[in-house]
């Protein structure tokens, strides 16, 4: 015998195709539940109590099932019912079908509540380190049944991942792309970091024209802050003195700490493990900065737990940004 589960348009039952030397027929799941209950309890009266239906209705369901299958499922022995050989063979299959159906129903209920699933997030490495590493435990307390999968990806890489549906959301500088919905966060400043002994800039900032003459330790061009810096250099008509490019901000910061150049970093980057002088990069007396956003593809509906992820992460980031501030600002705040 082989049982195949198919969808049925009714709300309370699913269609079951049963093949036992007969043509496939639609079978009401209620009849299967009745059959299993009678087989387990041995009497119609006990099964009726378990299923909370009347005995005549239950007897009709058993009769209809036997007629539909063309099989005798029970023999009466005294006041009880005993499975026939065919009924015994059918019982295991019916239990399996009902278990599978209940599992599907439970899974659908969980998905409807939106508190279980996989949350896929793309972010640059410095955002994962500085923001997500501390936010994820808080999110897990609220959604313990959601598994968060992180992908390390820069801004341009995130665009393709969002379009292909490989991730739910990306955290990056605003790309101004109308295809994506966004949650706007506080802006990210371009910062310059150098050894604490070096006098760089004035009152917590340095003009990009003066900065360009220093030996610079720059992030890879894939980083949004690097592209922002390059655009500011073109506007200022200056050629930066590039000493090293790297995908790792910590490589740049380690070199800057020992006086091997000035590192360019975003204000989302943590620097607390290093002894550095931090200044804000400006052009025309205005900070070189850009908006940070949480973005997702408008064409794809976010599950409820992903919507909650975006909202709670946005609220969290508004309270902690910027991660790194100019040294002079930090000292003044400390005195306050």
pLDDT of residue 246: 96
CA distances 40 to 48, 87, 100, 280, Å, are 12, 12, 19, 76
pLDDT of residue 111: 58
| For the chain, percent of residues with pLDDT exceeding 90 | 54
According to DSSP, the β-strands at 80-83 and 74-77 are antiparallel
First to last CA, the chain: 81
| For the chain, percent of residues with pLDDT exceeding 70 | 86
pLDDT of residue 104: 76
Which residues in the chain belong to E strands, given as ranges? 2-6, 15-19, 74-77, 80-83, 117-123, 146-152, 169-173, 180-195, 205-207, 216-219, 242-246, 262-266, 276-283, 286-287, 289-297
- Backbone region of residue 266 per phi and psi (left: phi > 0; alpha: psi in -120 to 50; beta: other values): beta
Residue 231 DSSP code: H
Q: How far apart are CA 208 and CA 213, in angstroms?
A: 9
pLDDT tens by residue, 221-250: 989 899 999 999 999 999 999 999 999 999
pLDDT tens by residue, 135-177: 999 999 999 989 999 999 988 889 989 988 899 999 988 877 8
Q: Is the pLDDT of residue 251 over 80?
A: yes
Phi, psi for 27 (deg, rounded to 5): -125, 130
pLDDT of residue 74: 92
Whether 30 and 48 have beta carbons less than 8 Å apart is answered as: no
Tokens standing for residue 127: 């955002």
Number of Cα atoms under 13 Å in the Cβ half of residue 328: 12
- CA 278 to mean position of chain CA atoms: 34
According to DSSP, the β-strands at 117-123 and 169-173 are parallel
Whether 289 and 238 have beta carbons less than 8 Å apart is answered as: no
Residue 48 CB-density burial (10 A; 0-12 exposed, 13-18 middle, 19+ buried):
buried
Tokens 């299967």 sit at which residue? 32
């Amino acid at each position: 015998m082989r049982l195949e589960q198919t969808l049925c348009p009714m709300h309370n039952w699913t269609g079951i195709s049963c093949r036992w030397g007969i043509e496939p027929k639609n079978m009401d799941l209620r009849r299967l539940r009745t059959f299993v209950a009678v087989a387990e309890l041995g009497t119609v009266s006990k099964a009726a109590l378990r299923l909370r239906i009347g005995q005549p209705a239950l007897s009709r369901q058993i009769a209809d099932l036997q007629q539909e299958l063309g099989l005798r499922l029970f023999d009466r022995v005294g006041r009880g019912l005993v499975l026939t050989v065919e009924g015994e063979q059918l019982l295991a299959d019916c239990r399996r079908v009902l278990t599978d159906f209940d599992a599907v129903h439970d899974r659908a209920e969980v998905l409807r509540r939106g508190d279980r699933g996989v949350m896929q997030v793309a972010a640059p490495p410095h955002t994962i380190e500085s923001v997500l590493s501390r936010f994820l435990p808080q999110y897990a307390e609220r959604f313990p049944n959601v598994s968060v999968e992180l992908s390390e990806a820069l801004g341009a890489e995130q665009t393709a991942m969002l379009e292909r549906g490989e991730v739910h959301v990306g955290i990056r500088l605003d790309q101004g792309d109308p295809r994506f919905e966004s949650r706007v966060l506080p802006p990210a400043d371009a910062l310059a970091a150098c050894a604490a002994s070096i006098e760089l800039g004035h009152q917590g900032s340095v003009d990009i024209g003066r900065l360009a003459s220093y030996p610079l330790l720059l992030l890879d061009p894939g980083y949004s802050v690097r592209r922002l810096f390059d655009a500011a250099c073109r506007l200022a008509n200056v050629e930066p003195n590039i000493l090293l490019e790297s995908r790792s901000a910590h490589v740049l910061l380690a070199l800057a700490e020992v006086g091997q150049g000035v590192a360019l970093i975003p204000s989302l980057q943590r620097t607390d493990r290093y002894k550095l002088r931090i200044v804000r990069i400006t052009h025309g007396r205005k900070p070189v900065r850009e908006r940070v956003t949480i973005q997702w593809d408008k064409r794809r509906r976010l599950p409820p737990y992903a919507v909650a992820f975006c909202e709670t992460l946005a609220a969290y980031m508004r309270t902690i940004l910027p991660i790194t501030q100019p040294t002079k600002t930090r000292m003044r705040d400390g005195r306050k």
